[in-house]
Amino acid sequence: MKFLVLLLAAALAGCATTDIMPFPDAAPETQPEPVPPLVTPAPDAPRENVAVARLMENARADTRAGRLAEAGASLERALRIEPRNPRLWHELARVRLAQGQFAQAENLAARSNSFVGSDSTLRSQNEQLIAEARAAGR
């Protein structure tokens, strides 16, 4: 029985990846992968933090208005609250890309990937961003 459930889950995960289009602003918040007993799960992860959501919102508004330094500052404030939130690292990478800091953009996206867990959408967004940063930095 356990075997079957796992099979199904794996199959669904596979389908999901192929169906969802990368759309940066609408991606669902990710649940982190269950962490092994050696390390206990992060206390800040499960429910969305309103402060972080607000800062992310501000950062997006700033980005749209071209205030990239301010956007970066807001994301760094958010990262002080949730340092393991892969979405925040990704958005910061995006800001650095827009600022023309390609090496930083690439590193930050890779950092986001290190926290991404099972969120394959965000993972592919990060990979795309890394490719973009590499191409632009050349």
Partner 1 sequence: VARRKRRLRRYLGFGLLAVVLLAGGFVFHLDYRVRSEFEGRRFALPARIYARPLELHAGMRIARADVEAELRQLGYRELPREGEFGWFARRGERLEIAVRPFVFWDGPQGAKRLLVDFENGAVAALSDAAGQEVDLARLEPVPIGGIYPANNEDRVLVRLSQVPPHFVQALLAIEDRQFYAHRGFDPRAIARAVLSLASDKVQGGSTITQQLVKNFFLTPERTLRRKAIELVMAVLLEMHYDKNEILETYVNEIYLGQDRDRAIHGIGLAAQYYFHKDVEHLTLAESAMLVGMIKGPSYYDPYRQPARALERRNLVLRETRERNTITMEQYALARAAPLGVTKKSEMGTSPYPAFLALVHRQLRRDYDEADLRTEGLRIFTTLDPRVQMVAEQALTRRLAQFDKEKRFGAPGLEGAVVVTDPQSGEVQALIGGRDVRFRGYNRALDAARPVGSLLKPVIYLTALSESTRYTLVTPVDDSPFVWKSRGAPDWTPKNYDSRFHGMVPLRTALAQSYNVAAARLGTQLGLERVLDNVRRLGVERPMRPYASTLLGATEMTPIEVAQMYQTIASGGWRSPLRAIREVTTQEGKPLARYPLAVEQAFPPEPMYLLSSALQGVVREGTAQGLRQYLPPETPVAGKTGTTDEQRDAWFAGFTGDRLAVVWIGYDDNRAARLSGSTAALPVWGDMMAVLAPEPLTLPRPDKVELVWIDPESGLRGRGCPGAIELPFVQGSAPIDRAGCSGFEAAVESAAEAVDQAVGRAKSWLERIFGR
Residue ranges in contact with partner 1 by CB under 8 A: 2-3, 6-7, 10-11, 13-15, 17-18, 32-33, 35-44, 49-51, 53-55, 69-70, 72-74, 76-77, 79-81, 83-84, 92, 103-104, 107-108, 110-111, 114-115, 117, 120
Q: How far is the CB of 34 from partner 1 (least distance, A)?
A: 10
Round to whole Å and give the CA distance between 128 and 126: 5
The smaller minimum CB distance to partner 1, of residues 36 and 135, is found at 36
Do 128 and 22 meet the contact criterion of CB atoms below 8 Å apart? Answer: yes
Dihedral pair phi/psi, residue 20, rounded to 5°: -80, 130
The smaller minimum CB distance to partner 1, of residues 3 and 23, is found at 3
Q: How far is the CB of 29 from partner 1 (least distance, A)?
A: 15
Q: How far is the CB of 115 from partner 1 (least distance, A)?
A: 5
Round to whole Å and give the CA distance between 60 and 67: 10
- Burial group, residue 65, by CB count within 10 angstroms (0-12, 13-18, 19+): exposed
- The residues, ordered by sequence, that sit 6+ positions from 11 with a Cβ below 8 Å of its Cβ are none
Do 96 and 90 meet the contact criterion of CB atoms below 8 Å apart? Answer: no
The smaller minimum CB distance to partner 1, of residues 5 and 26, is found at 5
Q: How far is the CB of 6 from partner 1 (least distance, A)?
A: 6
